[in-house]
Homo-oligomer: A and B are copies of this chain.
Amino acid sequence: LDSGTGREVQRMLHTLSPQNIAELLESSPPRIRQLLWKLIDSDVEGEVLQELPDEVQAQILATMDTDEMVAVMEGLDADDVADLLQQLPERVMGEVLSAMSENDRQRVERVLPYDEETAGGLMDTDTVSVRPNLPLEVVLRYLRRHERLPESTDSLFVVNRRDQFIGLLPLTKLLTSSPNATVREVMTTDVKPIPADMPDAEVAQLFAKYDWITAPVVDGEDRLLGRITIDDVVDVIREDADHSLMSLAGLDEEEDTFAPIIRTAPRRAVWLGINLLTALLASWVINLFQGTIDKVVALAVLMPIVASMGGVAGSQTLTVVIRGMALGQIGRSNLRWLLSRELGTGALNGILWSAVMGGIAALWFGDWRIAVIIIAAMLINLITAAVAGAILPVVLRALRIDPALAGGVALTTVTDVVGFLSFLGLATWFFA
């Protein structure tokens, strides 16, 4: 890429699908991204833009004027246009909307009121609906009058006179049933439509559970508003799964891998600052025992081991619990069992590794008292870590704090403080 001239690159881009171009943009540093964007054929710009993560979209939109934006958004699904518009400042959004064609604007305005993270924000409005009393033969003729059906259409939605959803007519059923049967005789009615205000994570769980490809979205009175397709749900599943991973390191799952320093540094600085506070708390605990350390320097050598083993054991418990909560597996009824399992595991591994470490300490420093102290401190800290790892996420959730984001810091604070406190406290008592 670096060596190619503009025209060569342009020719290469011309041969790629919009999805491949989006991938290329996403894996490029900001400056190259801007260069590449200028070389893309204008008729695929919209499709490429729509495939990019939010942060990259915002970055590219920021370089365009209103007319360019309108041109780019033409021909996209209403839900995708709404997603793009939501990256813009309020004022610009209004300008773009009023520059759109009447028809496009209406389509978009129907989905725009819904929060991006709800069913309404995920849906598009390209549905094909039929009435229950029609014979299939008429439905078949009606479909043949369409140039094409919306992408991923696997069912028609059956609605009554008041546009309320009453059932699904899968295309496979339409094709295998007698043309004389009516829609009502053939349709499936065991699918509950999705209310527009359902959170997107719940929508994703329903899709994954029932293997849906598309599902109808309705308002409070069961009127059909649109449909959600599996491809948008796959994105939600990916982001939700990413959320825990990124949050545990204090990062945002929408974070652009190739964001420039001026965006990355301040975000991470906040997280480092929070961690500095917790590290200072641990130091303050150590400071209480300066006298003891002064007497027995070996304590300073061994104390990080107690804290670190507690941190590792705790983060294992924490990860299992956070994932279980994200999958909706953990509630009040099984938390007690989980806590006792974690306690047992912590105690067993505590006994094993503290014994090993006690032996090493005794050999290393030739002092049985140090061995006893580190065994006791490790046991205390590993058991504390198990309890904290299991209970912290539940407590944080009850306080409406994201456990994936705050859990790691809270846990390290506990295991550091308890680790240093138990080890140095016991030592002070023994060597007093």
- Bound CA span A328–B207, Å: 26
Q: Would you call A246 and B283 a contact (CB within 8 A)?
A: no
Q: Main secondary structure on chain A at its contact with chain B?
A: helix
CA of A276 to CA of B143, assembled, Å: 67
Chain B nearest CB from A312 CB (Å) reads 5
Name the residue on B nearest A232 (C-beta). Answer: B211
Establish whether residues A349 and B27, one from each chain, have CB atoms under 8 Å apart when the complex forms.
Answer: no
Query: Do B268 and A282 have beta carbons less than 8 Å apart?
Result: no
Query: Which residue of chain B lies nearest to A288 when distances are taken between CB atoms in the complex?
Result: B301
Looking at the assembled complex, report how far the CB atom of A178 sits from the nearest CB atom of chain B, in whole angstroms. 7
Of all chain B residues, which has the CB nearest A333?
Answer: B1
Which chain A residues in 289-332 approach chain B with CB under 8 Å? 290, 293-294, 297-298, 300-305, 307-309, 312-313, 315-316, 318-320, 323-324, 327-331
Q: Tell me the smallest distance from the CB of A96 to a CB of chain B, in Å.
A: 25
Contacting residues of chain A (191-233) with chain B, CB-CB under 8 angstroms: 207-211, 213, 229-231
CA distance A275 to B27 in the complex (A): 34
CB distance from A337 to the nearest CB of B (A): 4
Q: Give every chain B residue within 8 A of A148 (Cβ-Cβ).
A: 172-173, 176
Q: Which residues of A contact B (CB under 8 A)?
A: 1-2, 17, 19-20, 23, 26-29, 140, 143-144, 146-149, 151-154, 171-178, 207-211, 213, 229-231, 234-235, 237-238, 241-242, 244-246, 248-251, 255, 257-261, 264-265, 268-269, 271-273, 275-276, 279-280, 282-283, 286-287, 290, 293-294, 297-298, 300-305, 307-309, 312-313, 315-316, 318-320, 323-324, 327-331, 333-334, 337-338, 341, 344-345, 348-349, 352-353, 356-357, 360, 412, 416
Given contacts A154-B154, A286-B304, 17 further A-B pairs with CB under 8 A are A23-B209, A27-B329, A27-B334, A143-B175, A211-B229, A211-B231, A213-B230, A241-B245, A249-B316, A249-B320, A251-B319, A258-B334, A258-B337, A269-B353, A271-B316, A276-B309, A300-B303
